[in-house]
Amino acid sequence: MVVNRIEQKCIQKGLRMTEQRKVIAQVLSSSHDHPDAEKLYRRSNAINNSISLATIYRTLKLFSNNGILEKHEFKDGKSRYETVYKDHHDHLIDIETGKVIEFQDEEIEKLQEKIANKLGYNIINHRLEIYAVKKNK
Amino acid sequence: MVVNRIEQKCIQKGLRMTEQRKVIAQVLSSSHDHPDAEKLYRRSNAINNSISLATIYRTLKLFSNNGILEKHEFKDGKSRYETVYKDHHDHLIDIETGKVIEFQDEEIEKLQEKIANKLGYNIINHRLEIYAVKKNK
DNA sequence: TTATATGCAAAACATTTGCACTTGA
DNA sequence: TCAAGTGCAAATGTTTTGCATATAA
């Protein structure tokens, strides 16, 4: 199996590459949506059924802590994950389908900096999510 | 007891005003922070100890569904509630103290409209949270 | 009167953890 | 070799729910 992008990052970070992590890395690399733990479990388990849900959670946390994944908590109860090899972006969530659209807007970023600054704060992180429905239906 | 602002809204919406709801309405009216269910339970229970946590949750949901409260899920695990008699605003959360600062910025609102529009969507809702630390410490 | 609300305890749900066993380097 | 990772099942923390009882209108 060709070493995928996420596995590369793991090696680079010095993480021990177990069979399970390789599979999870592979699944994440080929997932272009924003899957939750359960979905990742099902996808991974289909490849290697010796992968438990506990390991999925432990691995997701490990990858997040190492900046390999980003964890999002949209308003649907469960956390969802996304690989980070893109530039920073925010999310628009289609509340009818659950589909996530990524967008970025430099102006909004700058405005946030300005606001925090005015309030006497330095931004560590932010979350901007737009919940919306398709037009013209 | 003087009828408080939230109770007024309940009456206006035709909600049945039970003893419990009156107490919870009173507690919410005088809470100027962003309390979670547990905190509201403790405050309400201190006034009338026949109020259960289940009723707190049921009442919070009722009030949210009637546009009397807003439910926020910041990144601290538990939902927090806020009365809505203010204009729309977003939140800056001090990640060291948990303190919540409200802000509003017309420009950011407009930009979001523009973005959603460009993507072919109508905004139903949005969430903008800035997680930050105090400057000059 | 009676539809609705409540308290209680049990359930639900996503996520975490203790422990004995396995494995990667 | 052995520190680190894993599966399993039990525990966790927040929120929800079934049911018998109580209450507002």
Which A positions 38-97 lie with beta carbon below 8 A of chain B? 73, 75, 92, 94-95
Distance CA B117, CA A118 (A): 29
Q: How sure is the predictor about A99, in pLDDT bands with cuts at 50, 70 and 90? A: confident
Chain A CB contacts of B77 under 8 Å are: none
Among A71-85, A101-115, B61-75, which stretch is predicted with the lowest mean pLDDT?
A71-85
> Considering only A83-92, A110-119, B67-76, B128-137, which range has the smallest mean pLDDT?
A83-92
* Single-letter amino acid, residue B2: V
Q: Which helix (H) or strand (E) holds A47?
A: helix A37-47
Residues in chain A: 137
Best residue of A124, A129, A133 to probe chain B, by most B CBs closer than 10 Å = A124
The string of pLDDT tens digits covering residues A28-82 is 998 888 999 999 999 999 999 999 999 999 999 999 999 999 999 988 888 999 8
Identify the DSSP state of A77. S
Looking at residue A40, its pLDDT comes to 95
CA of B109 vs chain A CAs: smallest distance (Å): 9
pLDDT interval class at B2 (50, 70, 90)? low
Average predicted confidence (pLDDT) for chain A: 90
Using the Cβ of A112 and the Cβ atoms of chain B, whether some distance falls under 8 Å is answered with yes
Instruction: Give the confidence band of A110 by pLDDT, cuts at 50, 70, 90.
Output: very high
| Segment B100-131, tens digit of pLDDT | 899 989 999 999 999 999 999 999 889 999 99
In contact, A6 and A63? CB cutoff 8 Å = yes
**Could you tell me the distance in Å between the CA of residue A99 and the C1' of nucleotide C10?**
35
CB atoms within 10 A of CB A133: 14
pLDDT, chain B, mean: 90
Given this model, what pLDDT does residue A88 score?
83
Confidence of residue B1 (pLDDT cuts 50, 70, 90): low
Q: Which residue's entry shows tokens 């990858």? A: A63
Q: How many residues does chain B have?
A: 137
pLDDT over 70 for what percent of chain B?
Answer: 96
Q: Which positions on strand C lie below 7 Å from a protein C-beta?
A: 4-10, 13-18, 23-25
Q: What is the rounded distance in angstroms from the CA atom of residue B28 to the CA atom of residue B95?
A: 24
CB neighbours of residue B63 within 10 Å = 25
At A120, the pLDDT band (50, 70, 90 cuts) reads: very high
> Rounded mean pLDDT of B85-102?
83
Name the DSSP letter for residue B119.
Answer: T
Q: CA B113 to CA B122: how far, in whole Å?
A: 8
The verdict on B135 touching A (C-beta cutoff 8 Å) is yes
Q: A26 to chain B nearest CA, in Å?
A: 28
Q: Quick one: pLDDT band at residue A1, thresholds 50, 70, 90? A: low
